[in-house]
């Protein structure tokens, strides 16, 4: 148990982690609840809710730290980590002897302690073979025997050991996901060396339709690759839409325009940065199932928003046939590792087609400023409220507010004031002058 406790970061750090997890859980549940009840067919609203919950989750450790520094914790829960171990009954039966403690100004005033008086029956007077009185039982040996109690592991140490083991597994998983991300960046670097530019002169009419659908004057870079298996967007600081090398020659111009509109919409909305934040949150909070649920809903809402750009100028049935045709033609190409793509669809083709042909679907692609401010204010308030609900050790707060019940001059609990005529716990009579205040050990 001792070796695993060396990896325990401390109670304060664990309380901050609990606060951060509470913020993340409530933010994700709030986004899911509002999206499911009020915005089932409005992908733009669900996307904004998921992004706000993602931001709160990523910032939850910093928010918990700031709230702790500012003393915003309002509710305390007793974790019971600092409670002492139970004292065995045999050891608690007799107090530990201490050195004599005398509180007197004149030691000469102490009267000598008389010898114990032994009552002798009348029939034994004059006889010499009377058995002597039994000597008092030595106390030190019995006390030493009761003190030889093997040390026990407290409940707090068990809890800390379990938490240390959980943190070790948590850190190992985060390192594994970090290694996957680094591997993806390496694949991306090798991919950029073999990219070839898209022939814009040959497909000038297609690019004009894409610019009109997106409402922009300049499109992001469009490249061709022989490695990718389907249209994707790659890059963080220099994002680009990448198509399979032979795809433009195997599909119609209308289908090519729809595909480029969808991929370029990801870049215009800066989905590559959102995808990067998703990777960070997943790497940090990977044991939390709600984080994976949030990423799945966010990816689906992102794809729906980008599809809305296409549906503004293309009929849903036509675009649905385009996606099915694309899926059948891109299966023969070599697949790229999933770790290299920051923007990945995480839903089934059947669900996507079903959403395209839904007549009640909202084709909104962006939220107005007031709605964005309302969403941001709601999640910011939620984060602050949850950060103010701290988990603390109630015993510590009670110790701070508890008033002392004895004066500072009170003697230790192991000493007792003995006056004339009193008998100590061990049955030995002490003779002390009534005019003298003296404290003697119980033994």
Same domain for 183 and 319, yes or no, is: yes
For the chain, how are helix, strand and coil distributed in percent, rounded to 5? Answer: 55, 5, 40
Tell whether 146 is covered by a domain: no
Same domain for 188 and 315, yes or no, is: yes
The most confident of 298-307, 361-370, 407-416, 427-436, by mean pLDDT? 298-307
Q: How many helices (H) and strands (E) does the chain have?
A: 15, 6
Q: Note the pTM of the prediction, 2 decimals.
A: 0.69
Same domain for 359 and 258, yes or no, is: yes
Same domain for 167 and 241, yes or no, is: yes
Q: Nearest-CA neighbor of 274 among 266, 285, 263? A: 266
Q: Which range marks the domain in which residue 441 is found?
A: 98-136+414-443
Same domain for 248 and 106, yes or no, is: no
Which of residues 132 and 47 earns the better pLDDT score?
47
Tell whether 270 is covered by a domain: yes
Give the H or E element holding residue 177. helix 155-193
Dmax (CA) of the chain: 139
Tell whether 316 is covered by a domain: yes
Report the range of poorest mean pLDDT among 187-201, 284-298, 378-392.
378-392
Same domain for 72 and 104, yes or no, is: no
Count of domains observed in the chain: 2
Tell whether 87 is covered by a domain: no
Tell whether 409 is covered by a domain: no
Give the pLDDT of residue 419.
40
Tell whether 12 is covered by a domain: yes
Tell whether 51 is covered by a domain: yes
Model confidence pLDDT, tens digit, residues 140-162: 454 444 444 455 668 878 888 88
Model confidence pLDDT, tens digit, residues 122-133: 555 555 555 555
Same domain for 32 and 177, yes or no, is: yes
Tell whether 148 is covered by a domain: no
Same domain for 310 and 172, yes or no, is: yes
Give the pLDDT of residue 185.
84
Same domain for 274 and 377, yes or no, is: yes
Q: Say how far apart CA 5 and CA 157 lie, in whole Å.
A: 8
Same domain for 296 and 342, yes or no, is: yes
Same domain for 12 and 55, yes or no, is: yes
Same domain for 62 and 121, yes or no, is: no
């Amino acid at each position: 148990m001792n070796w695993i406790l060396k990896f325990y970061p401390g109670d304060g750090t664990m309380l901050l982690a609990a606060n951060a997890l509470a913020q993340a859980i409530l933010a994700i549940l709030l986004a899911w609840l509002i999206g499911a009840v009020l915005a089932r067919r409005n992908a733009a609203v669900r996307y904004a809710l998921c992004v706000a919950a993602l931001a709160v989750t990523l910032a939850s450790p910093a928010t918990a730290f700031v709230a702790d520094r500012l003393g915003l914790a309002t509710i305390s829960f007793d974790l019971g980590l600092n409670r002492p171990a139970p004292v065995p009954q045999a050891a608690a039966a007799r107090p530990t002897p201490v050195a004599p403690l005398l509180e007197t100004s004149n030691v000469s005033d102490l009267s000598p302690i008389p010898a114990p008086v032994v009552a002798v029956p009348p029939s034994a007077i004059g006889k010499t073979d009377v058995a002597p009185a039994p000597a008092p039982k030595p106390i030190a040996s019995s006390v030493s025997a009761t003190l030889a109690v093997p040390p026990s592991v407290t409940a707090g140490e068990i809890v800390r050991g379990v938490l240390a083991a959980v943190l070790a597994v948590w850190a190992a998983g985060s390192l594994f996901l970090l290694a996957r991300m680094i591997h993806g960046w390496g694949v991306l670097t090798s991919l950029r060396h073999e990219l070839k530019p898209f022939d814009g002169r040959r497909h000038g009419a297609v690019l004009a339709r894409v610019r009109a659908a997106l409402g922009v004057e300049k499109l992001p870079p469009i490249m061709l690759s022989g490695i990718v298996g389907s249209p994707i967007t790659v890059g963080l600081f220099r994002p680009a839409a990448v198509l399979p090398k032979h795809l433009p020659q195997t599909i119609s111009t209308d289908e090519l325009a729809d595909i480029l509109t969808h991929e370029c919409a990801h870049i215009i909305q800066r989905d590559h940065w959102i995808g990067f934040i998703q990777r960070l949150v997943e790497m940090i909070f990977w044991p939390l199932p709600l984080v994976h649920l949030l990423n799945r809903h966010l990816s689906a809402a992102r794809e729906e928003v980008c599809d809305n750009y296409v549906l503004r100028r293309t009929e849903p049935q036509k675009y649905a046939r385009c996606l099915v045709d694309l899926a059948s033609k891109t299966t023969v190409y070599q697949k790229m590792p999933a770790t290299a793509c920051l923007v990945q669809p995480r839903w089934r083709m059947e669900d996507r087609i079903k959403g395209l042909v839904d007549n009640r679907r909202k084709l909104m692609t962006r939220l107005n400023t007031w709605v964005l401010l309302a969403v941001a204010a709601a999640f910011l308030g939620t984060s602050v409220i949850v950060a103010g609900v701290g988990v603390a050790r109630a015993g510590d707060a009670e110790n701070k507010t508890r008033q002392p019940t004895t004066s500072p001059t009170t003697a230790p609990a192991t000493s007792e004031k003995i006056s004339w005529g009193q008998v100590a716990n061990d049955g030995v009579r002490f003779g002390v002058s009534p005019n003298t205040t003296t404290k003697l050990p119980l033994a």
